[in-house]
Amino acid sequence: MTDRTSAHTLSKERFRLLTRALLAYLGPYKSRLYQAAVSMVILAAIKNLIIYISGPVIKGVFMDRNAHLLQLVVLGLPLLFVLRMTVEYVNGYLMSWIGQRAVQDIRSDLFDHIHRLSLEFYWRRRSSDVMSRVINDLNNVQSTVQFIPLYGIRDSLTVVGCVAVLFYINWRLALISMIVLPAVAAILGVLGRKMRKASAESNVIVGEISHRFQESLQGITVVKAFNYEDQAIARFRVANDAYFSKMMRYLRATALSGPVMEFVSGMVMVAILYMSGKAIFSGTMSTANFFSFLMGYLTAYGPIKNIGNMNSKLQQGMAAWERIYQILEEKPAVVVKTETKNIDRLEGRIEFRGVNYKYPSRETQVLKDLSFSIAPGEVAAFVGPSGSGKTTIVHMLLRFFDPVSGSILLDGHDMTDLDTTDLRAHMGLVTQDTILFDDTVYKNITIGRPGASMDEVVEAAKAADAHAFISSMPQGYETVLGERGVKLSGGQRQRLAIARAIIKRPKILLLDEATSNLDTNSEQAVQAAIERILGGRTVVMVAHRLSTVKNADKIFVLKKGELAETGTHQELLKLGGIYKGLYEAQT
């Protein structure tokens, strides 16, 4: 995790870039923003009007005992308050609407974006980290987007109006009540910085906490079988405690800022009372003015507090936005050229030319100067010890990542000249562990060919030896699988994966330990069915069980990322090398 410390050390340029990117999300809602701004101006005007008339009204009613004025107040004031309430509702509503919309757009861009990124992104990032950004940080961004305009426009205008009224009424008194403002700002600034730091750090810990939860939820069978509960709980507690102390630092700063403000404002009130009392005694200030002044001061208090918090709110929101933007600005490691070659029709010829590969996170090379070719329609098998690079080769054929050097050709086209979507449309993949989605059996089988007919699905399922167990489930092909649905055995899942690949009728079928979870009888049945249905297609298979690969046209024996032996089963046995050793050990 390289981005742990990013939050509170944004450079100026970075801040500007982030601001521009965030504003771009508000662009589409400009007209609503204008409406909101207008309503804020109106609101500020109403508030100031109330201050301005409050003094004369109080004086008229209570001192001059003006019954006429009292009637006017009883009729007029409710109207004014209804108006104020309506405008306040409208601008609150508009700003929430804008905040929600912007965040909805960001969330949907995030989802789109992570689908466009290459596997390399997923190697680097923990899913819980991404999740915590999508949930927590986005929440912060939303509240910032929503409140900054309110603080910046509504409250600033209110304060400006109040201050103008205060100066108009009694500039000396106004000046004195303003003098404390810089001190308050300084105190809030210090507290704000503390809050920002603690909040950024706590966001990282939230990611850690959700990671621990996820780990235990997913690995619960292992946790239980190995009595790992206590250790898991202890590890969780560390993160949980850390979160508590970080949060408390944040809350201490927050909790302190309220009372500090109350105290300062109370002291100012005392000063105002004292000064205006003296002014009234000496006849330089009217009682009406005193009341207006007091109202003005009280009205300005809340907005001033908000403006004081504005910076910390902004910083907090920007820190959160930065964490989200880091994901949005990730670039796919596999770059698809703008001009790609057309491969609507594919023969299925595969060629590796001097391919070298090294995973970014590791020092050692996994594939070393690998060269081989597979003709269209051939069945090629890769065998070799665990970690020798077999899955890496399969993933490279799907262009999950590109070689560090050398090239991979498909029908003679360099893979980097092809569109990954076109390319993968021709590929079928079956892996050792099958990912099932929260959806029906039918939908799970047809992910590679949406809209396939039920007959085709049944045919594929029969070939994969899956029809029998699917039919035996109460809802058959409409049974919901996945986390919230029916649980299947490893072999059953793998059969579904095989049906999934078969129905796609790919030009190139990639089988990475595709039948490893099946018993020998069904393995043979499934293999025969695959050959029957997908005859004439190129098959690349990886298997540990050598009986599976015996009939392959070509067998490649890998050793530490290098090609050690190549040939048919018979040829390799005759050669008397690694393959023969492996085969003898298995029979």
Token pair for 430: 């079956």
Residue 545 C-beta: closest distance to Mg ion, Å? 14
3-state secondary structure of 232: helix
d(CA 14, CA 253) in angstroms, rounded, equals 27
Answer with the entry of Mg ion, ligand ATP, none that 89 interacts with (C-beta below 5 to 8 A by kind). Answer: none
Q: Which of residues 84-123 bind Mg ion (CB under 5 A)?
A: none
Answer with the entry of ligand ATP, Mg ion, none that 587 interacts with (C-beta below 5 to 8 A by kind). Answer: none
d(CA 164, CA 384) in angstroms, rounded, equals 83
x/- track of binding to ligand ATP for residues 474-503 (CB under 6 A): ------------------------------
Residue 390 interacts with ligand ATP (CB under 6 A): yes or no:
yes
How many CA within 13 A on the CB side of residue 287?
8
x/- track of binding to ligand ATP for residues 353-372 (CB under 6 A): ------x-xx---x------
**Residue of 189, 258, 387, 581 that binds ligand ATP (CB under 6 A):** 387
d(CA 252, CA 204) in angstroms, rounded, equals 19
Return the H-helix or E-strand segment holding 476: none
Angle ∠(226,231,234) on CA atoms, nearest 5: 160
Length of the chain in terms of residues written = 587
By CB neighbour count within 10 A (0-12 exposed, 13-18 middle, 19+ buried), where does 480 fall?
middle
Alpha helices in 10-155 (DSSP H): 12-26, 30-58, 67-116, 119-124, 127-132, 138-149
d(CA 265, CA 268) in angstroms, rounded, equals 5
Count of positions on this chain that bind ligand ATP (CB under 6 A): 12
Residue 517 interacts with ligand ATP (CB under 6 A): yes or no:
no
Among the residue ranges 14-22, 171-179, 319-327, 380-388, the one whose residues contact ligand ATP (CB under 6 A): 380-388
d(CA 232, CA 237) in angstroms, rounded, equals 9
Angle ∠(215,229,432) on CA atoms, nearest 5: 45
Residue 316 C-beta: closest distance to Mg ion, Å? 45
Q: Nearer to Mg ion by C-beta: 299 or 391?
A: 391
Parallel/antiparallel/unpaired status of strands 554-559 and 379-383: parallel
Side chain identity, residue 416 = T
Q: Which of residues 382-421 bind Mg ion (CB under 5 A)?
A: 391
**Do the Cβ atoms of 157 and 44 come closer than 8 Å?**
yes
Residue 403 interacts with ligand ATP (CB under 6 A): yes or no:
no
x/- track of binding to ligand ATP for residues 85-124 (CB under 6 A): --------------------------------------x-
Residue 479 C-beta: closest distance to ligand ATP, Å? 30
Q: Nearer to Mg ion by C-beta: 289 or 391?
A: 391
d(CA 126, CA 144) in angstroms, rounded, equals 26
Q: Nearer to ligand ATP by C-beta: 123 or 437?
A: 123
x/- track of binding to Mg ion for residues 442-481 (CB under 5 A): ----------------------------------------
Per the rule left: phi > 0, alpha: psi between -120 and 50, beta: everything else, 437 is: beta
Q: Nearer to Mg ion by C-beta: 155 or 523?
A: 523
Residue 585 C-beta: closest distance to ligand ATP, Å? 15
Answer with the entry of Mg ion, ligand ATP, none that 359 interacts with (C-beta below 5 to 8 A by kind). Answer: ligand ATP
The footprint of Mg ion (CB under 5 A) covers: 391
The footprint of ligand ATP (CB under 6 A) covers: 123, 359, 361-362, 366, 386-392
